[in-house]
Structures are given as C-alpha cells and as structure tokens.
Homo-oligomer: A and B are copies of this chain.
Amino acid sequence: MKDQCIKVQQTEEDIKALQDTIYVIGGKWKLPIIHSICNGNKHFKEIERSIPGITTRMLSRSLRELEDNKLITRTVDPNVPTLVEYEFTEYAKEYGVLITEMIRWGKHHKKMIIGQL
C-alpha cells in the first residue's frame, strides 16, 4: 500500500507546508513580478510597465505580500522620497533551487500532456 505512495509520506503538517509554499508564489501576478525584478527592474513604474495587463492595485498588493514574506526588500531613497527600489533578498535566492525544479517539472509535464493527446 505504501509502495503506491509518492516518495514522501505526507503528514497533515506537510500538506500545510506545501500549501504555504504555493500561497507565497501563488496568485496571478507574483511570478511575473519575480520575473521582472529578476530581469533588472527595480522601480514601481518600471515593473508595472514590464508586465502587460497588471494594475497598480495588484502590483502594489503583490509587492507588499512578497515583502511580508521577506522575498524582496523595499527601500525609499531618503534624498529622493519619490524613488523606491525593490530588490531580492538573499533569502529569496535560496528559493532558486525550488523555482528551478518547478520550471523543470512544468515543462516536462506540458510535453507529456501534449504528447499524449
């Protein structure tokens, strides 16, 4: 019976941990935002312009959530108070392994699904 289980025997706690992980980068815009910052965009309008279809509202909300989760930092230039910089934290970079794995699986999965149709 346990042989048919996927590798990890999951507990209730594991399920919650998984759902947390999904929550942190879930929703419609978090990943595009990560992508944008990843590509060198630092300022609010810069990021906004780089993501077609996003509204200021959703960008603002999503950035705050990413900040709450310590994946990015928000820094206001004390000299130019209308200038804000968003950057990845060192912590976010640890996330890289997982992101890589998710990308790999997603691509593999797509090929697999399409291939069988």
What is the interface of chain A, defined by CB distance below 8 A to chain B? 1-2, 4-10, 12-22, 24-26, 31-32, 34-35, 38-40, 69-70, 87-88, 91-93, 95-107, 109-110, 112-113, 116
Interface of A is mostly: helix
Q: Contacts A6-B38, A8-B96, A9-B38: A91 and B112 contacting too (C-beta < 8 A)?
A: yes
Whether A109 pairs with B21 at a CB distance below 8 angstroms is yes
Whether A21 lies near B97 (C-beta < 8 A) is: no
Contacting residues, chain B, for A18 (C-beta < 8 A): 25, 31, 99, 102-103, 106
Q: How far is the CB of A25 from chain B (nearest CB, A)?
A: 7
Residues of B within 8 A of A25 (CB): 18, 22
